[in-house]
Amino acid sequence: MERSGVILAYEYFPEIWLCGREVISINLIVSGKKETDKVIKHLLKIPEVGNVWEYDDEWNLNFVLWVKDQLEVNKIVNKIMNNFDILDMDISTLAAFTGK
């Protein structure tokens, strides 16, 4: 069906409760468009980053992390806070470990 053009594309949606990871959403207020672009470029190089959204709002950047533990989150957040002009940050857990 792919060869004939009936199927154009497909995606996968992981079952987050079975993959053994936490899903963390992080909202940022980044100072200025140039700095926001730098942060996005950095985020796209991090294997744990699942999605990146840029907004025209006070919270101008959001990204999702798929991590094993809080230590991974701390490393990523500390690097961002130390290397970029971040005015504020909000962190939320979207899914927690289960079956442990």
Please tell me the total count of domains within the chain.
1
Distance CA 78, CA 81 (A): 5
Domain contains 69: yes
The model's pLDDT over 32-55, given as tens digits with 9 standing for 90+, comes to 999 999 999 999 999 999 889 998
* Interval 58-82: pLDDT, tens: 889 999 998 988 899 999 999 999 9
Could you tell me if residue 7 is inside a domain? no
Share of the chain above pLDDT 90, in %: 57
Residue 79 falls within a domain, yes or no?
A: yes
Length of the chain in terms of residues written: 100
Exposure string over 70-92, b if 16+ CB within 10 A, otherwise e: eebbeebbeebeeeeebeeeeee
Q: Answer whether residue 30 is part of any domain.
A: yes
Average pLDDT over residues 1-6: 78
Angstrom distance (rounded) from CA 35 to CA 86: 9
The distance between the two most distant Cα atoms of the chain, rounded to a whole number of Å, is: 51
Find the domain containing 77 and state its range.
Answer: 22-95
